[in-house]
Structure 1
Amino acid sequence: MNQPIIFTILSATYILIGVFIIVRLLLNGMRPTKTLAWMLAIFTIPVGGILLYLMLGRNRRKNKLFKLKRTPKVNAYIQRALQHYVPISKQEHKEHQKLISLITQNSYFAPSSGNQLTLLKNGEPTFSAIFEALKKAKHFIHLEYYIFEEGELTKELFQLFSEKVKSGVQIRIIYDGIGSRSLSKKYIKKLNEIGVETSRFLPIRFGKLLNSINYRNHRKIIVVDDEIAFTGGINVSDKYVKGDPNLGVWHDTHLQIQGPVVHSLQTIFAMDWFLITEDEDILDTAYFAPDQKTGEATVQIVHSGPDSDFSAARQLFFSMINEAKDYVYITNPYIIPGESILESLKVASLSGVDVRLLLSKKSDNPIVKWCVRSYFEDLLQAGVKIYLFPEGFVHSKTIVADDTVSSIGTTNLDIRSFEQNYEVNAVVYEDSFSIALKNDFLQDCNHSIELKYDTFVKRPWHHKIKEGVAKIFSPVL
């Protein structure tokens, strides 16, 4: 067969595939601008356009590629989990009933009162609290981390795990296939040899590369005996204690939870473990400890991922920003908000709400840095106050509004967290806790550099070019 005929066949095949993809785009109801962008990519970038679409463009919420297998045992487990709450009346936190209903619809977890919370700032206090809780474990320890990085912390954990397994404690660890890619097979083998069960979330394999490379488990969860749990922004990495050669000390926020809402985090871990291992032992309801009221805080857990019907993480931020009447303060390292969150921030500020954003002056990724800054001019023009923390790297993911509601979790204010990652946040309906988080935010702002619109708009033209180029990559950052 001569070359012109081969070229014609390949071209026709490519066009047919392209047309098929465009039909799928139209059927999935994607935004017109996004549909047009993918049409241009497919027909102007030979081969690469289709590969990019297969990796980044498919609507996971429509396709349900990672849909949890809802066996009778899974359904029974979830129903049992939903019974473990100390219910609140409609008169409690009535100003947030819409937010409560939204989260319950999206994540099926109702809020629960009776919880005791400890706000943990930065690595040393957090790991001190974590190790103290792990040492007290009597039945099981469940850990789930995006980054599980070898160093002094993992050496200490290995020693502790070795002792706990000998005393009859069952230990399971989920680590992400990309976030924990530096974790050696040698370390995993050592864990397995002492009796720790490990499971890697979506490991990168050639045959499943297009389906898995862009969809990561970004959650950070520890559950000990279903009595105490931790979640927030801090990964298992020495940079939270020793610092980073380029960025300095990583500043972050974590949350220790005791009380009935720990069941929600245990359920999320169990569902993730079952999703990747299909091991039904994790669904044993013996992992639920008896309900015990340990405090007065009302907490609700939000989980979000590419397999959920809606982006619960995006809708959480959107709702909290829109409901704010006096102020909304957000700390986040990666503010790449997308159209809806960007508009909600501007509308809130223009309506008289005190909207403030805190993030690092430094960045761990130059493309991300310029992409984040590409949104600053619009936000500053609308009256949003932006503060750049100059010391180390701020990795916290918090939002607090009106002294009544706050959230600490793993979700970045970016498209990746909203659409492509598995995330988890704890929403707290408690005045004293929100005020403490607000005061912590304001203290950090006092040590930060506030950007001014009149000055920022005069930045060098080459900065604007970098911002414009970087913004093109916002859907995948």
Structure 2
Amino acid sequence: MDLPALTWGMLLDIAEWVIRAGALVVIPFRRKFTAAAWLLLIFFLPIPGLLLFLMIGQPRFPKGRIERFELLRPAFDRVTKALSASKPDQPSAVAAFCEKLGLFPATAGNQVELLDDYDAALGRLVADIDAAKERVFILVYIFADDKTGCSVIDALRRAVARGVDCRVLIDPIGSIHWVRGTIDKLCAVGVNTRRTLPLRLLRGRTRRDMRNHRKLFIVDGQIGYAGSQNIVDKNFRPGVTNRELIARCTGPVVTAMEAVFLGDWFLETGTQPPDGIQLPAPSGDAVLQLLPSGPEYPLEGFETLLVWQLHQAEKRAIIATPYFIPDQDVIAAFRTAAARGVEVDLVLSKVVDHPIVNLAQRSYYEALLHAGVRIHLFDDYLLHAKNVSIDGKLAIVGSSNVDLRSFQLNEEVSLLLYDTKSVADLEAIQRRYIETSIALKLDEWVRRGHPVQVLENLARLVSPLL
């Protein structure tokens, strides 16, 4: 016999309070900025909140993927040992720490070009593919089958016809609007193509929000690209034109880039990286280091490095990022650096492609401006480039945003530049960002309307879930 409706209501109330009590016990142990958002959601919507937390509340890959990553350790160790022969004579403390974070050492004997012309950078990639003799590896978040994407597909077609081994890894969520068409076209011309972190609902479940956000292009093990550049038309969003930055490298660091690609290829295909390692010949004076990061690594690599270096900064720090959803450690590092007299410049984009994310990040501006951080809004383009410079001694170019998604959920990769010339080259680009940006003024910012502030704070409440 069915229980009376009142009894069902009482059971539902009891279940909801049990869920709330359990959340108070379990979630604070995570000691993350996201804990407050999860508690708020579960207290207002206990059952939907619990289901959502079970689905995406813990930034972990499936057990099988973690086990496969551990199988990569011998291959990564071989690469590290080979690269150690190219270490600079006096590696810095930063380089030693980042080797622990991301496994690969800093290497001397590299050459690096910083390319911030969107079309020209892709033109260089096409030219390098057309000159390839052995292999072309591409790992990218967005690969569209639009005009830009087809130009790269055509170059890969020509390479395959020459007998070049061409492989592509595409994130299916980043490329969601194009992934079927792109993969069909790549496979039709003989390119070995796989999805990264393909979505699975049951066995080996892969979460939709944990993505491979890396951008790496490697040609013949001699040329490597790392940065923010995707393979898509620069104005693929209506009314938005992207501005990017990518580093084209030659020298030993390319071996680390290839190792990251082959590691991700193994995770998706089961094909182990080859045993033999042949380092590229020295090609310049740049000292470079690759720092991969992601949920399978013990620490949030890019965030850990950024926070540490902001606390270590003595004169100036410039950070450019399109998305800025920091946690308390990052906010404290910004404010502390500014309080110590460090010139801290944060370059963000005035052009917006994710309005809710933009509202959330705007909620942080007032506190940062009060602390003395200078905020610049880049005009005309969506500044999608992600880069950092500290004291003229360290520069970072990569795929990581200054947000919780890049810190905790995404597979990312950063290129660290240590030599004076390379750092100065990035600083020159960053100065051009600032010159063409609108500087936020505290007295003007605090006068924005109260309705806007309410929307910003509401967006901030859910920002850990964005």
On whether the aligned pair clears a TM of 0.5, the verdict is: yes
Equivalent pairs counted in the alignment come to: 463
Residues 116-162 of structure 1: per-residue CA shift (max 9 Å, x gap): 00110131121121111111111111101111112112222222222
Displacement of 1:22 in angstroms is: 5.8
Aligned to 1:235: 230
Displacement of 1:290 in angstroms is: 3.4
Matches within 5 A, 1:20-419: 24-25=26-27, 29-31=29-31, 34-35=34-35, 37-60=37-60, 66-69=65-68, 74-85=72-83, 86-88=85-87, 91-92=90-91, 94=92, 97=93, 99-207=94-202, 211-239=206-234, 244-247=237-240, 249-280=241-272, 283-286=273-276, 288-419=277-408
The one of 432, 436, 440 equivalent to 2:421 is 432
**Aligned residue type for 2:238:** P
CA contact (8 A) 2:197 2:206 kept: no
Structure 1 CA distance for aligned equivalents of residues 25 and 64 of structure 2: 19
CA contact (8 A) 1:146 1:176 kept: yes
Displacement of 1:268 in angstroms is: 0.8
Structure 1 CA distance for aligned equivalents of residues 263 and 378 of structure 2: 37
Structure 2 CA distance for aligned equivalents of residues 263 and 83 of structure 1: 12
Provide the secondary structure at the position in 2 that maps to 1:379. Answer: helix
Structure 2 CA distance for aligned equivalents of residues 18 and 84 of structure 1: 53
> Could you tell me the TM-score, scaled by structure 1's length?
0.90
Provide the secondary structure at the position in 2 that maps to 1:359. Answer: strand
Structure 1 CA distance for aligned equivalents of residues 268 and 278 of structure 2: 24
Displacement of 1:371 in angstroms is: 0.9
The one of 441, 460, 469 equivalent to 2:449 is 460
> Could you tell me the TM-score, scaled by structure 2's length?
0.92
Structure 1 CA distance for aligned equivalents of residues 35 and 454 of structure 2: 25
Structure 2 CA distance for aligned equivalents of residues 229 and 68 of structure 1: 28
CA contact (8 A) 1:18 1:50 kept: no
Residues 366-422 of structure 1: per-residue CA shift (max 9 Å, x gap): 101111111110111011111111112111101011112100000000011000110
**Aligned residue type for 2:47:** V
Structure 2 CA distance for aligned equivalents of residues 129 and 175 of structure 1: 20
Structure 2 CA distance for aligned equivalents of residues 192 and 36 of structure 1: 46
Change (3 A) 1:137 1:18: farther
Change (3 A) 1:181 1:209: farther
Structure 2 CA distance for aligned equivalents of residues 275 and 251 of structure 1: 31
Identity %: 30
Change (3 A) 1:68 1:164: farther
Change (3 A) 1:57 1:133: same
Greater shift, 152-161 or 115-124, is seen at: 152-161
CA contact (8 A) 2:121 2:246 kept: yes
Change (3 A) 1:204 1:418: same
Displacement of 1:303 in angstroms is: 0.9
Displacement of 1:106 in angstroms is: 1.1
Structure 2 CA distance for aligned equivalents of residues 88 and 205 of structure 1: 41
Structure 1 CA distance for aligned equivalents of residues 67 and 287 of structure 2: 28
Displacement of 1:291 in angstroms is: 3.6
Structure 2: tracts of 5 or more residues without a match: none
Provide the secondary structure at the position in 2 that maps to 1:69. Answer: helix
CA contact (8 A) 2:59 2:210 kept: no
Displacement of 1:245 in angstroms is: 2.9
